[in-house]
Structure 1
Amino acid sequence: MALSSGLRNKLIAAAGGGAIAITTLFLGGKDGVEGRVYEPYKDVVGVWTVCDGITGKGVIQGKHYTDRECDSLLWNRVRQVKEQVDPLVKVHLGEYQRAALYSFTYNVGVSAFSNSTLLKKLNAGDQAGACDEMRRWVYAGGQKWRGLMNRRDMERSLCLAEDANDL
């Protein structure tokens, strides 16, 4: 699935703000790949989730979240992911590649990322092969999901982008 023109334009505009800004726009709000939901719900594997894919003990069942709360939760979570991902990556990457890794890890978790073939290929210098690995991560609860296939295609495109012309 290709990036929507609205999301593409936002990502290009965010490039100067670095990988965190790109990731936050990629994931968040009405145009983001997560799809913002203001009421907590159980995802496909039964995990309580809210806003832009936020999970964990901080999700309060029955609460209605505002855009401001969702933005804050997203920003904080992406910063946490960055702090956990950056030490694992041993090669130089551009901002779009980092943003793709942050988005991927935001979704699959740091443990899965740190033990992945994706990371091994990346650190071995096979960036294209690492980006292609994203397409393998399309299962949840033992089932293949169209939403995850679309997301991984978009993350792969971001991962392979050298500059805004590649988006």
Structure 2
Amino acid sequence: MEHINYGHTSGVQAGDVITPEQAEAFFREDIPIITAHLNQLIKVRVNQNQFDALVSLIFKIGSRVFAVSTLLKKLNSGAAAEFPKDCHGTVQGKKMPLPGLVARRQKEKVLFESELKAMKT
């Protein structure tokens, strides 16, 4: 499946080019759709960092793939601690791990495991 910039897929064809403004507009359109779908799928409480890490993951793998994933099943069974291990299964290219995806999954792992910090006012 073709995607562009942050992970937008709707109407994207190979070779498409967009401006930074279009990328931002797609991102703003896609986030509410992904968060609504994630809210329907997860049956356990997660903190904001965990939710954000899951949104990032779904942005790349897609809601349909996440909906049937072992990761979601484990999360909903209360095994949230499995996320850091299981999310690394989604880094494969055709035959080898893609460095960009490995880095992205690592950032999602760190975010998922990080404590929420109080915002300074």
Q: Alignment RMSD, CA only?
A: 2.1
Q: Is the 8 A contact 2:6 2:59 kept in 1?
A: no
Is 1:54 the counterpart of 2:22 in the alignment?
A: no
SS of 1:55's partner is coil
Distance 1:164 1:109, change over 3 A: same
SS of 2:4's partner is strand
> Of Structure 1 and Structure 2, which has the larger fraction of its residues in strand?
1
Q: Aligned residue for 1:133?
A: 86
Is 1:76 the counterpart of 2:26 in the alignment?
A: no
Distance 1:142 1:61, change over 3 A: closer
Q: Distance in 2 between matches of 1:132 and 1:61?
A: 32
Is 1:162 the counterpart of 2:111 in the alignment?
A: no
Give the structure, 1 or 2, with the largest relative contact order (CA under 8 Å, sep 6 or more).
Answer: 2
Q: Aligned residue for 1:22?
A: none
Q: Is the 8 A contact 1:135 1:149 kept in 2?
A: yes
Cα offset, 1:60, TM superposition: 6.4
Q: Is the 8 A contact 1:117 1:130 kept in 2?
A: no
Q: 1:66-87: per-residue Cα shift (whole Å, max 9, x none)?
A: 3222111011112111111111
How many residues of Structure 1 are paired with residues of Structure 2 in the alignment? 118
Distance 1:113 1:60, change over 3 A: closer
Give the partner amino acid of 2:93. Answer: A
Distance 1:114 1:64, change over 3 A: closer
Q: Aligned residue for 1:105?
A: 58
Q: Distance in 1 between matches of 2:97 and 2:63?
A: 21
Cα offset, 1:50, TM superposition: 2.6
Q: Is the 8 A contact 2:83 2:109 kept in 1?
A: no
Q: 1:118-146: per-residue Cα shift (whole Å, max 9, x none)?
A: 11111111111123211111112243212
Identity across matched positions, percent = 27
User: Could you tell me the TM-score, scaled by structure 1's length?
Assistant: 0.63
Q: Is the 8 A contact 1:118 1:134 kept in 2?
A: yes
SS of 1:139's partner is coil
Q: Distance in 2 between matches of 1:133 and 1:153?
A: 11
Gaps of 5+ in 2: none
Q: Distance in 2 between matches of 1:86 and 1:106?
A: 14
